[in-house]
Structure 1
Amino acid sequence: MRSKLILPTFFPRLTQTSRILTNSRKMSTFIVPNSNPQLPVHLTPDLTQDQLLSFPAFKIWLSTLQHSLSRQADTSHAFHAEPYVLRQIQIQAVDFFGGGRLGFLKLKAEVSNDHGEKLPGSVFLRGGSVAMLLILQPNDTRSPSDSDRYAILTIQPRIPAGSLGFPEIPAGMLDDRGTFAGGAAKEIQEETGLVIPQDELIDLTALANNLSRKGREQQEGGEPEKLQAAVYPSPGGSDEFIPLFLCQKQMAKREIEELQGKLTGLRGQGEKITLKVVRLDELWKEGWRDGKTLAAWALYQGLKGEGLL
């Protein structure tokens, strides 16, 4: 049976007053320092050059793209004969967090070759996030097996998805401080109430990256792209990358059961989270809509099959 795309019955018409009016304001342009060829960036009126150049998401994205473009100099590269160039960047909109900290940024990157062929360049910059597969096993059960293992999902509003109860593994945005593992441990505590030492976390994406890198070097040779050791859930439109961690914890069965339905999160900051404990072998059925949940599940199964877990 064919699945049907659910379309909204009502979609408000955009009016002139609801459109972004930055074109009617004074905008500034600067050249990215040490760029060759020179790279002009057109700013919105509410964003300064210093704010943009110090934004971690912009720095990582630009450095990664420039490195990938430089690889076209290799004669074996698919675009070597007609290489693409990043010609300019147009900042279209910005969103600031509390304290005036730059949070989200929308831009248009013009990437084309000398024949006028362009690559899609609409980009939503939000930087890195972190997520974790938290597996619990009762330590007071006789001869525990895989069927006694559980995973934790968080149920919370995700307005971009149009949901007030979206199931996913614990996750959160990274700031520019600390480590990926530190961010994962912090999110586990905030979203589940469990305190997990960083050294008990296993970086699934780092293990997968090391495994795939060895294979690429054997097959291709040369320097690979400098992508993050992480999952990219929507690379066609966003820079977001998500390192995925595994935590395996033994607890009394009663303590595991007490997590079911627990209200957690930084509720004063809008995090309305309810925990759901599911059997590990049922995780993919419960969280299949969430890309990072499926990615964590697949990496766990794949790395376990490789004998790395």
Structure 2
Amino acid sequence: MSTFQLPNTSPPCPVNLTPDLSKDQLLAFHPFKEWIKTLSQSLKSQESQDHPFHVAPYKLRQIDIQAVDFFGDQRIGFIKLRAKVSNDDGEQLPGAVFLRGGSVGMLLILQPDDVPAESDDEKYVILTLQPRIAAGSLSMAELPAGMLDDSGTFAGGAAKEIEEETGLKVEEHELIDLTKLSLSGIQPAGEHLQEAVFPSCGGSDEYIPLFLHEKRLPRDQMQEFQGKLTGLRDEKEKITLKLVPLKNLWKEGGRDAKALSALALYNALRNEGRL
């Protein structure tokens, strides 16, 4: 095990590495860089006299890397770590973190083109059915989604994942960022969080911008999505598509935090006349 001092930290923060991870690999891992930047900004916000922790501010004192999962080409996929964040009174905050970075989720609403354009009748949502071993499932119903890399835009990542998981080609400009539209300008005081949903912020850094795309298609073309097999087989993706009525999404996709969040934002923004 090797140790180094995290740059630009006060007090100095030692980082204990696992034998299979180097300092350079960790510091180049985009989710780690994002997490440290966000946490540092939030800790700095305690300098404000209005902050509830101002009298006894918390500080990042140590990071222990516990495990690393690599993808096939030795690219870091996930990191499990424990961060020691405490104040001078010895009070400590929970610091178990599963680092995986950002993902994107897509609410794809299809409607037959023989239905009047102004009507809400016969709107359907594309769900993916695929194995999710972490949930103990071989057929979890969820919105199309995918992990982000550290290049390109959120919308670009969403458009790429839509094509890979559904076969539907969508341009970036055709996507509406539901989370940005809903959360723009809303931040905890002094913090700089992503304009995205955090599905499991008690233990993971994962954030998910949610995008909307509505498309009108001929009925026969719409039916081609029902039961379609998609996904990148060389990346072990085994995806089956399912069309469900929009009005039933809360039930059909009720185990998927992305689906429920996207549906809530979609309905709320429509109620306010912003969609």
Superposition TM-score tier, normalisation by shorter sequence:
over 0.9
Give SS of 1:99's match: coil
Give SS of 1:146's match: coil
Give SS of 2:9's match: coil
Deviations 1:207-265 (A, max 9, x none): 0112645xx7xxxxxx5311111100000000000000000111111111121111111
Q: Distance in 2 between matches of 1:224 and 1:43?
A: 31
Q: Residue 269 of structure 2 corresponds to which residue in structure 1?
A: 303
Cα RMSD (Å): 1.3
Q: Distance in 2 between matches of 1:142 and 1:113?
A: 61
The answer to whether the 8 Å contact 2:41/2:190 transfers is no
Which aligned pairs between 1:117-266 and structure 2 lie closer than 5 A? 117-141=91-115, 145-210=119-184, 212=186, 223-266=189-232
Give SS of 1:65's match: helix
Deviations 1:95-145 (A, max 9, x none): 111211111000000001111110000000000000100001111235762
Q: Residue 9 of structure 1 corresponds to which residue in structure 2?
A: none
Q: Residue 59 of structure 2 corresponds to which residue in structure 1?
A: 85
Q: Residue 57 of structure 1 corresponds to which residue in structure 2?
A: 31
2:29 alignment partner AA: F
Which one of 276, 284, 289 corresponds to residue 242 of structure 2?
276
Structure 1 or 2: more strand by fraction: 2
Q: How many residue pairs get matched? A: 275
Give SS of 1:98's match: coil
Structure 1 or 2: more helix by fraction: 1
Q: CA deviation at 1:147?
A: 2.3
Percent of paired sites with the same residue: 63
Q: Distance in 2 between matches of 1:175 and 1:204?
A: 20
Give SS of 1:100's match: coil
Q: Distance in 1 between matches of 2:93 and 2:235?
A: 39
Q: Residue 115 of structure 1 corresponds to which residue in structure 2?
A: 89
Give SS of 2:183's match: helix
The answer to whether the 8 Å contact 2:103/2:209 transfers is yes
Q: Given the two structures, how large is their TM-score scaled by the length of structure 1?
A: 0.87
List alignment gaps of at least 5 residues for structure 1. 1-26, 217-222
